[in-house]
Amino acid sequence: MARDLRLLAAQGALPLITADLVELVHLLLGDPDEAVRIAASASLGALPLEELRRSRGTAARRRAILGYVLARRGDQGLREAVLQNSSTPTRRSRRRRPRFRRTSRSSS
């Protein structure tokens, strides 16, 4: 895809439905051109919460989009959307309780 077209897409200036635009802008975060990446980051970070929720991609893609924006914006509404999103994995504590070795007591 031509750089000018990628840059327009990253800026959110293409006439696409919101769900497709959100996914395209997210994909452009990995573009080799720095100007495209910067524009995509700015566009994705500025999208209203309701538009971010409209992403129709895979569960992993929706998690990645919401996670990316949450890391940069961190507003309360976005946090709630991430927590309420059924594709967001639950985070369980992986800490294990300490295990003590059982030693056999010898009777003397």
Domain locations in the chain as residue ranges: 3-84
Select the more confidently predicted residue: 15 or 59: 15
8-34 pLDDT, tens digit per residue, is 999 989 998 888 888 899 999 999 999
92 pLDDT more than 60: no
**What is d(CA 9, CA 67) in angstroms, rounded to the nearest whole number?**
21
Contact assessment for residue 51 and residue 22, using Cβ atoms and an 8 Å cutoff: yes
Select the more confidently predicted residue: 62 or 36: 36
Using a cut of 0.95, tell me whether the model's pTM lies above it.
no
96 pLDDT more than 80: no
2 CB-near residues (< 8 Å, 6+ apart): none
- Residue 94's pLDDT is what? 41
Quick one: average pLDDT of 54-73?
A: 76
